[in-house]
Structure 1
């Protein structure tokens, strides 16, 4: 898949992608053509657009054997962090938008998520189990600081004593340390902080609007200080570029307060592969062929292997060595704590005005 050329009329500042490849479901492609008029176009800075969606439902169910939860919630579509490797980019195709620049500049927010959440978990017959956040796009991307949708969802789950797990790299999670700490004290919350590299310059290239590595270590410290179990997610691991940092990342996270660790080799599903290849050629042309050869060595000779049981782990000699290094470092650093078993036994509707008080 070849990518369209960059729009010369757009000024890109801190963006991961460089163009707008058409979404895979679109029947047409657009191309720029010179109309013959020697009139320069005005350049404009490409800014993030936020639109709001009145969602009809909010909890997504899954039966994937690769992931340890059966339900999730995503307050936003798209993600301004702009991580070039993000496996969620192809989801923007369902909106008729490009997984490239559109994914990181055209964000859809769901402001009614908290009220929908309360309605769905309050339905008769609802069977409680932990809800996972951050499974597709980051619930703590920059706009959350203004909209507070994730804060509203947390408040609902706190009031209902409903457990949750959370994956993020967004600094706004520290704003909600009070709620997360209160829930963790009852065994109802755990947080995974994604930390890809300790190299600030590389992070700026790969994750242009995500917090710097030092900030993510501070997030681990802030959350662990209020009693929240924090797992560092060294994900994705990218051969040549970040794999040599595996042990150092784990040690830095342990020193900041992390009690467990996880690791996932890079995945390049659908439109992500050509976007990542283009990014490599722009930022690391001398390493591009080596990086892709090493990725393919873990993915059966392809850019991506979508098979259950393989997509999160990879296979072959390269993947086996990577997992062996991870296991040894995890044991040496004491990051072997198993996944938190979150308490579902306290789940109940919050008290309302006029409710009869209980005797016990």
Structure 2
């Protein structure tokens, strides 16, 4: 018989936002055994990014799994991905953030199986009463009515067409998209309505939909950005366990570009002392593969993301962990994160300035961002609802 002990800790109401110094030792990457001993939960969470399942900021208790000394954790099954249907009422999300280029987006999924430890969307799982840790990448939500809801919203009286961004929170081409195919349905609705769309992904699966995206791009209605974080396959696999390899992403850029679809490379996130030394090489590889626009974003660590990322650092790169966080804080006014408009994407201080300058010089040398590709809204044709009145013209 197997017993798993779950230790419950009372949490005070002022425990969050949690910093690494405030976090319990288990949240700072402590392994279950003595130093140098293999992690007894390593096999269970193989292929996952987060090291633990720390409680969200709205919970009143913290849960910590401990070994009882009887090898009770050795035969636990691997963590499986569980998908739950979410019946959304609307699918277009609006925002008025002054430092991003879009005011509306679509997220067909909640959570992301790619498992990036640094994902700034992780805290959203706390809204569902789940952990931003392992739950975020293994307990996913799918919105099967996404295309129908989109068609309905595009057909509402007074709808004003502007570019819809997809992939701004969780990746729309994460592995479960192969089964649910929501993006194909969404893109077909947008194509039929001549509605502009911008996609951000780190998955080569986006090439599956070239047959829809290429005609849209020809009409000035579509562009795709691929995130490229490292050319080091080992580092990329550690940072993004279930995302496409760097080579696959570069191949996807080539395929999209050759199909006439404008391609942007996002060197994001830039992490000091971990992947920032690759910045120029990432841009060079992307340009050769057909990308003609480029952008970058500095690592962001809001709310629960900070302890999750620091756990990951301690587990994978313990020799660099202190230095990485020291440089990060130097760019965030001594904090793990600064959410101020205009600073959250770029940071501040000498190190942040040097990253920005390197990006500018490399982009200029290679020929990035010479041409912009504004998407058209003048072709928009509102969908006709079932039983609705057709236009006379």
Q: TM-score range by the shorter chain?
A: over 0.9
Q: 2:298 is matched with which residue: 253, 256, 265?
A: 265
Quote the Cα distance in structure 2 between the aligned partners of 1:319 and 1:222. Answer: 33
Q: 1:227 is matched with which residue: 248, 260, 276?
A: 260
Superposition TM-score, scaled by structure 1 size:
0.95
Tell me which residue corresponds to 1:293: 326
Cα 1:352–1:282 shift into 2, 3 Å: closer
Superposition TM-score, scaled by structure 2 size:
0.87
- Measure how far apart 1:337 and its partner are: 3.1
Cα 1:34–1:315 shift into 2, 3 Å: closer
Within a 5 Å distance, the mapping from 1:15-164 to structure 2 comes to 15-32=48-65, 38=70, 40=72, 42-164=75-197
Residue 169 (str. 1) matches residue 202 (str. 2): yes
Quote the Cα distance in structure 2 between the aligned partners of 1:241 and 1:174. Answer: 29
Q: 1:349 is matched with which residue: 357, 374, 382?
A: 382
Residue 252 (str. 1) matches residue 285 (str. 2): yes
Residue 303 (str. 1) matches residue 333 (str. 2): no
Cα 1:287–1:6 shift into 2, 3 Å: closer
Quote the Cα distance in structure 1 between the aligned partners of 2:221 and 2:46. Answer: 39
Q: Is the 8 A contact 1:6 1:19 kept in 2?
A: no
Q: Is the 8 A contact 1:84 1:275 kept in 2?
A: yes
Structure 1 spans left out of the alignment, 5+ residues = none
Quote the Cα distance in structure 2 between the aligned partners of 1:90 and 1:347. Answer: 35
Listed one character per residue, the Cα deviations across residues 18-56 of structure 1 (whole Å, up to 9, x for unaligned) are 1100000112223446779x5835321111111111111
Cα 1:39–1:286 shift into 2, 3 Å: closer
- Measure how far apart 1:350 and its partner are: 5.2
Within a 5 Å distance, the mapping from 1:206-225 to structure 2 comes to 206-225=239-258
Structure 2 spans left out of the alignment, 5+ residues = 1-22, 33-39
> How many residues align structurally?
358
Q: Is the 8 A contact 1:6 1:18 kept in 2?
A: no
Quote the Cα distance in structure 2 between the aligned partners of 1:32 and 1:22. Answer: 12
Question: Greater shift after overlay, 265-274 or 5-14?
Answer: 5-14
Tell me which residue corresponds to 2:37: none
Quote the Cα distance in structure 1 between the aligned partners of 2:270 and 2:282. Answer: 11
